[in-house]
Structure 1
């Protein structure tokens, strides 16, 4: 038994004539007759009374036809669902992104991405990594953009690009473009509050022994990179920004950026998704849109040994 046989018996019910039903199905009359006969043999009962003129279904055949119509409807719904999930660039799409990336990456690719899929309903959320994990495991999030590595047995991570970290401060020597970590007064470093993965990355890189801040008159728990930048502008000290955040600064503020000497710190940005995520066409489009709008200073592969990220910024 197959769907084609069900289509044939429904056509035969509609036209009540083998030749007309075959023409409607674009097959020969002999092919249609043979397939209907095979189905009747498999069921062990006739579906149509061939003695009647015009052809008519038997009482049992009427029940078979009702069920066949339902099966074909459900098969059509199944096909539509699969096409929608795998290939169509429409419907609801729930995307999460970490706060230290959202203001700088989204403006680069989001307008083009939305233009490429006008039927998409995008639910976009800024969320920290742990919140992203909880939402995805609960089935409330389709894709996350975050800093890697991230480990969970039922979630899949995929690398997108790398961005290095830059120093931001007004007190740096103008003629000096690169700094070693040991050259920095880490007591003057402003960091994001706990809960941001970027904070822990920088703490690990700088080998910081974080103190409670008694040596400072001002203790400030910053929730965004923009708050840190403004704090440096008005209070002094310095902070550390990812490349895209530095790229987004006005030229006047970019003059306050410096690079780390090699080996330069960096972070890997990637996608997080459930293992059973099936909308591959949408996932591929998202990746291509991000890659095509990244500046050259955010490579998909790490720079070769001995090579540094550029100091200057692209327009």
Structure 2
């Protein structure tokens, strides 16, 4: 039994198809099938039920896959140990970032990171939180940047910064004349929200629920971007909440519509997250330190109330 054979098993378990698994592991389908057959013969069991479409794991196959993931992770750790000993920070690194963080944070740190660590080949994907957790658990991402806490036992979280919520309230809105807002001022009945699937949306809903303003059936205007929400607010269709970093480049009249909350300000916790197996920690630490160095000048808020992104339905 070899590490390579175990990787083949994991590929078939994931794709539930020998041909797709062969493509993903860059071998021919007969070669992959033969190697898996060797493991099954050696153990005298069947890992896969080939009579099912798509292919399914047998009961013992499920247990083997769990152990195979552990073994492959530990084998990968050997390379990490060697890289750390040599002080090498490089190689491919797959990073996921949620859509409400990507446009503001990525331009702040990416050039600095590339210049400082030219041997790292970053592959960045914009993904929602649910997909990020799934890909981290399956080993298809090395790390991600997302709003936390996520309450996932397989994911470790290292907070990067705390980003306050800022209200965008136009002049015809009931709250416009207030210099600063309280959480109790919020009401979902006149709140413009991101569409379902965004954790920032869930954070806003959780914030309103905390003060009992949760008549969710009354709102219907939703969008996939903050820019659209702001345009809708400018048409007097409601107010919206924005993450602080999204507002720092606002100018002119738009600045008049931005309102802070009284302390402790509601805020989201933004963290660098990764699998508990802690692979590629030297690159993860390099990312953390790079982001920390650029963000500390942009966010100076301390007295905040962390709003959970978890949507408890």
Q: TM-score range by the shorter chain?
A: 0.5 to 0.7
Cα distance, 1:302 vs. partner? 3.5
State the SS of the aligned residue for 2:122: strand
**Cα offsets for 1:265-288 (capped at 9, x unmatched):** 111111111122332322222111
Gaps of 5+ in 2: 1-76, 306-313
Q: Please, what TM-score do these two structures have when normalized by structure 1?
A: 0.63
Count of aligned residue pairs for this structure pair: 223
Q: Check whether the contact 1:96–1:141 (CA below 8 A) recurs between aligned residues.
A: yes
Determine whether 1:256 maps to 2:261: no
Q: Which residue of 2 aligns with 1:101?
A: 101
State the SS of the aligned residue for 1:265: strand
Cα distance, 1:296 vs. partner? 4.0
Q: Check whether the contact 1:163–1:297 (CA below 8 A) recurs between aligned residues.
A: no
Alignment of 1:164-243 (within 5 A): 164-171=164-171, 176-184=178-186, 186-207=188-209, 208-213=213-218, 219-243=220-244
Cα distance, 1:175 vs. partner? 6.1
Cα distance, 1:187 vs. partner? 2.3
Cα distance, 1:91 vs. partner? 1.4
Q: Please, what TM-score do these two structures have when normalized by structure 2?
A: 0.64
1:88 to 1:230, Cα distance in 2 relative to 1, 3 A: farther
Cα distance, 1:170 vs. partner? 1.6
Q: Check whether the contact 1:97–1:145 (CA below 8 A) recurs between aligned residues.
A: yes
Cα distance, 1:235 vs. partner? 4.4
Query: In angstroms, what is the RMSD of aligned CA positions?
Result: 2.7
Determine the C-alpha separation between the residues in 2 that align with 1:303 and 1:186.
25
State the SS of the aligned residue for 2:165: strand
1:294 to 1:186, Cα distance in 2 relative to 1, 3 A: same
Determine the C-alpha separation between the residues in 1 that align with 2:208 and 2:238.
16
Cα distance, 1:186 vs. partner? 4.2
